[in-house]
Structure 1
Amino acid sequence: MRTYDGMTAEERVSARRRRIMEAGLDLFHTQGYPRTSIRAVLRHSRLQDRYFAENFASLDELMAEILKEINQEEFAKCQDVLDTAGTRRDRARGVLDVLAHGVTDDPRKGHVKLIESLAAGPLAAKERRRGMRQMADLVESLLREDWPDPGIDITAMSMAVVGGVNQILLNWADGSFPFSREGVVEQALHLFEAVAEFGGASNRA
């Protein structure tokens, strides 16, 4: 297999893709999706024009791929939390802590996921819905441990929890909520516990 600078052709393509994604993440964070162009991404990544089309068909596709990577990272960490021992409350808190860390550990990713992805096109919107559905499946697995009332749709309630937590995190990320990371986790945990209690309490009424 031929190499150039110690890299195969496939490795060079992968490296260029990585540079474009990092450049997109930087610019979407600093100047926003609506004010970012393909040319600006290429300048930031120091790549020639043809290399964008080598990997992405549009800026929206770039955003969707960045969002997909963020979602996959968070989902894997949340799944690890759910696979550990502990009470349901402890595991729910652990999942919420992962999501809160997603906002603070790399502010680019938190800002792009929660705010800038909303301004992108249909591909990013589809990925955002897919990511929320994945998280709702995790929430549902927690709620199902004690959800005796078949009259209340657990899937709908799980989506409601994810939507509500996402809004809390969004408002925290944009500075509307003056919580610490621990504080925002506690607020989100209250929402989860309220829905969990509702599902159980309705059967006991």
Structure 2
Amino acid sequence: MRTYDGMTAEERVSARRRRIMEAGLDLFHAQGYPRTSIRAVLRRSGLQGRYFAENFSSLDELMAEILKEVNREEAAKCQEALDAAGTRRDRARGILDVLARGVTDDPRKGRVKLIESLAAGPLAARERRRGMGQMAGLVQSLLREDWPDPGIDVTAMSLAVVGGVNQILLNWADGSFHFSREGVVDQTLHLFEAVAEFGGAPHRA
């Protein structure tokens, strides 16, 4: 297999893709999706136009791929929290802490996921829905541990929890809420526990 600068052709394609994704992540965070162009991404990455087309069909697809990577990283960490020993409350807190750390550990990823991806197109919107559905599945697995009331749809309530948590995190990320990371975890845990308690209690019309 022929190499150039010690890299195969496949490795060079992968490296260029990574440079473009990092450039997009930087710019989406620093100046916002609406003010970012493909030309700006290329300038930031130091690559020529043909290399963008080699990997992405549009800026929307670039956003969707960045979002997919962020969702994949968070889902893996949330699954670890779900699989950990402890009470349901402990494991729910673990998941919520992962999501809060997603805002603080790399602010670029937090802002792009929660705020800038909203301004992108249908590909990013589809990936947002997929990621939220995956997270709702994890929440649902916790709620089902004690959900005796068949009159309340646990799938719908799981989606409601994820949507509510997402909105709290969004407002925290944009500076509307002035919680510490521990504080935002506490607030989102209150929401989870309220839904869990409601579903675990006898339903009254």
Partner of 1:122: 122
Whole-Å Cα distance in 2 between the matches of residues 123 and 155 of structure 1? 24
CA offsets 1:180-203 (integer angstroms, 9 cap, x no match): 000000000000000000001135
Partner of 1:41: 41
Partner of 2:100: 100
CA offsets 1:156-197 (integer angstroms, 9 cap, x no match): 000000000000000000000010000000000000000000
Shift of 1:39: 0.4
CA offsets 1:31-50 (integer angstroms, 9 cap, x no match): 00000000000000000110
Partner of 1:198: 198
TM-score (norm 2): 0.99
* Residues 64 and 127 in structure 1, CA contact (< 8 A), matched pair in contact too: yes
Letter of the structure 2 residue corresponding to residue 72 of structure 1: R
1:44-193 aligned within 5 A: 44-193=44-193
Letter of the structure 1 residue corresponding to residue 127 of structure 2: E
Whole-Å Cα distance in 1 between the matches of residues 84 and 101 of structure 2? 18
Partner of 1:9: 9
Letter of the structure 1 residue corresponding to residue 191 of structure 2: L
Query: Which residues of structure 1 form unaligned runs of 5+?
Result: none
Whole-Å Cα distance in 2 between the matches of residues 112 and 55 of structure 1? 20
Partner of 1:32: 32
Whole-Å Cα distance in 2 between the matches of residues 48 and 186 of structure 1? 47
CA offsets 1:2-36 (integer angstroms, 9 cap, x no match): 00000000000000000000000000000000000
User: Helix, strand or coil: the match of 1:75?
Assistant: helix
User: Helix, strand or coil: the match of 2:202?
Assistant: helix
Whole-Å Cα distance in 2 between the matches of residues 149 and 201 of structure 1? 7
Whole-Å Cα distance in 2 between the matches of residues 37 and 80 of structure 1? 37
* Residues 148 and 203 in structure 1, CA contact (< 8 A), matched pair in contact too: no
Whole-Å Cα distance in 2 between the matches of residues 24 and 89 of structure 1? 37
User: Helix, strand or coil: the match of 1:55?
Assistant: coil
Whole-Å Cα distance in 1 between the matches of residues 55 and 194 of structure 2? 44
Whole-Å Cα distance in 1 between the matches of residues 49 and 57 of structure 2? 12
CA offsets 1:41-91 (integer angstroms, 9 cap, x no match): 000000011000000000000000000000000000000011111000000
TM-score (norm 1): 0.99
- Total equivalences in the alignment: 205
Whole-Å Cα distance in 1 between the matches of residues 3 and 204 of structure 2? 68
Query: Which residues of structure 2 form unaligned runs of 5+?
Result: none
